[in-house]
Amino acid sequence: MNAQPSIADERTCVLAVPGMHCAGCMSKVERGLMDHDGVLAARVNLSSRMVTVTHDESVDEDDLTRFIADVGFEAQPRRNQAQKPYSAVKPLLAPLAVAAFAAMNVMLLSVSVWSGAEGSTRELFHWISALIALPAIGFAGRPFFKSAWGALRRGTTNMDVPISLGVIIAAALSLYETWVGGAHAWFDGALMLLTFLLAGRVLDAMMRDKARSGVEALVSQAARGAQVVGSDGALSYIPSEDLQPGMVMRVATGERLAADGEIISGRSAFDQSLLTGESEPVPLGTGEEALAGTLNLEAPVEVRVSSAGRDTTLAEIARLMEASTQDRSRYVRIADRAARLYAPAVHSLALLTVVGWLVAGASLYEALVIGVAVLIITCPCALGLAVPVAQVVASGALMRAGIMVKDGSAFERLASVDRALLDKTGTLTLGRPVPDAQALAMLSPEEAGIALALASHSRHPLSRAMEKALLTRGVAPATLADVAERAGDGVFATFKGRAVALKRPESGGTTAVLLKTGEGPDRLIPIADALRPDAREAIAALEGQGIECSILSGDGEKAVAGVAEQADLPAQANARPADKQALVAQLRASGRKVLMVGDGLNDGPALAAADASIAPGSASDVGLQAADFVFVQDSLSALPRTVRAARKTLQVVKQNFALAIIYNIFAVPLAIAGLVTPLIAAVAMSASSLLVVANSLRLARAAKYGAAK
Partner 1 sequence: MNGVLFLLPIALFLGALGLAAFFWALRNNQFDDPEGAAARILIDDEEKDEDA
Characterize 114-145 residue by residue with b for buried, 16 or more Cβ atoms within 10 angstroms of its Cβ, and e for exposed.
Answer: eeebeeeebbebbbbbbebbbebbeebbebbb
**Per CB under 8 A, 348 contacts partner 1:** no
**Per CB under 8 A, 12 contacts partner 1:** no
**Per CB under 8 A, 10 contacts partner 1:** no
Choose, from 423, 534, 599, 611, the residue flagged as catalytic. Answer: 423
**Per CB under 8 A, 83 contacts partner 1:** no
- Residues contacting residue 666 through CB under 8 Å, at least 6 positions apart: none
Site size for partner 1 (CB under 8 A): 24
Whichever of 96 and 475 has its CB closer to partner 1, that residue is 96
Among 12, 38, 88, 101, binds partner 1 (CB under 8 A): 101
**Per CB under 8 A, 679 contacts partner 1:** no
Instruction: Give DSSP secondary structure letters for 235-247.
Output: EEEEEGGG--TT-
* CB of residue 24 to partner 1, shortest distance in Å: 8
Closest CA to 19 of 80, 75, 77: 75
Whichever of 101 and 145 has its CB closer to partner 1, that residue is 101
d(CA 420, CA 414): 10
Amino acid at 292: A
Q: How far is CA 603 from the centre of its chain?
A: 16
Stretch that binds partner 1, among 41-49, 380-388, 466-474, 597-605 (CB under 8 A): 41-49
Residue 485, φ and ψ in degrees, nearest 5: -105, 125
Whichever of 18 and 277 has its CB closer to partner 1, that residue is 18
Whichever of 28 and 79 has its CB closer to partner 1, that residue is 28
Residue span 179-208 as binding mask against partner 1, x where in contact by CB under 8 A, dash where not? ------------------------------
Whichever of 105 and 147 has its CB closer to partner 1, that residue is 105
Stretch that binds partner 1, among 16-24, 390-398, 591-599, 648-656 (CB under 8 A): 16-24
Whichever of 44 and 681 has its CB closer to partner 1, that residue is 44
Closest CA to 333 of 430, 428, 415: 415
Whichever of 92 and 251 has its CB closer to partner 1, that residue is 92
* CB of residue 97 to partner 1, shortest distance in Å: 5
Residue span 105-134 as binding mask against partner 1, x where in contact by CB under 8 A, dash where not? x--x------------x------x---x--
Contact assessment for residue 61 and residue 75, using Cβ atoms and an 8 Å cutoff? no
- Residues contacting residue 405 through CB under 8 Å, at least 6 positions apart: 207, 211, 391, 394, 395, 398, 399, 411, 628, 629
- H runs (alpha helix) in 522-637: 535-544, 557-567, 577-589, 604-609, 621-626
**Per CB under 8 A, 104 contacts partner 1:** yes
- H runs (alpha helix) in 442-514: 445-455, 461-472
Stretch that binds partner 1, among 74-82, 91-99, 279-287, 347-355 (CB under 8 A): 91-99
35 is annotated as an active-site residue: no
Among 66, 90, 459, 498, binds partner 1 (CB under 8 A): 90
- Torsion sign, CA atoms 194, 200, 202, 205: negative
Whichever of 51 and 563 has its CB closer to partner 1, that residue is 51
* CB of residue 98 to partner 1, shortest distance in Å: 7
* CB of residue 349 to partner 1, shortest distance in Å: 37
d(CA 440, CA 419): 39
d(CA 276, CA 556): 10
* CB of residue 121 to partner 1, shortest distance in Å: 7
**Per CB under 8 A, 45 contacts partner 1:** yes
**Per CB under 8 A, 97 contacts partner 1:** yes
**Torsion angle of the four alpha carbons 52, 57, 61, 62, in this order, in degrees rounded to the nearest 10:** -140
**Per CB under 8 A, 27 contacts partner 1:** yes
Stretch that binds partner 1, among 85-93, 269-277, 388-396, 665-673 (CB under 8 A): 85-93
Stretch that binds partner 1, among 23-31, 189-197, 262-270, 371-379 (CB under 8 A): 23-31
Q: What is the largest CA-CA distance in the chain?
A: 112
To which H or E segment does residue 499 belong? Answer: strand 498-503
- H runs (alpha helix) in 329-487: 334-359, 364-377, 381-400, 409-415, 437-441, 445-455, 461-472
Among 3, 69, 93, 683, binds partner 1 (CB under 8 A): 93
Contact assessment for residue 111 and residue 35, using Cβ atoms and an 8 Å cutoff? no
* CB of residue 101 to partner 1, shortest distance in Å: 5
Instruction: Give DSSP secondary structure letters for 91-121.
Output: HHHHHHHHHHHHHHHHHHHHHHHHTT--HHH
Among 3, 23, 437, 658, binds partner 1 (CB under 8 A): 23
**Residue 341: is it exposed, middle or buried by C-beta count within 10 angstroms (0-12/13-18/19+)?**
exposed
Residues with a known catalytic role: 423
Interface residues with partner 1 (CB under 8 A) are 22-24, 26-27, 41, 44-48, 89-90, 93-94, 97-98, 101, 104-105, 108, 121, 128, 132
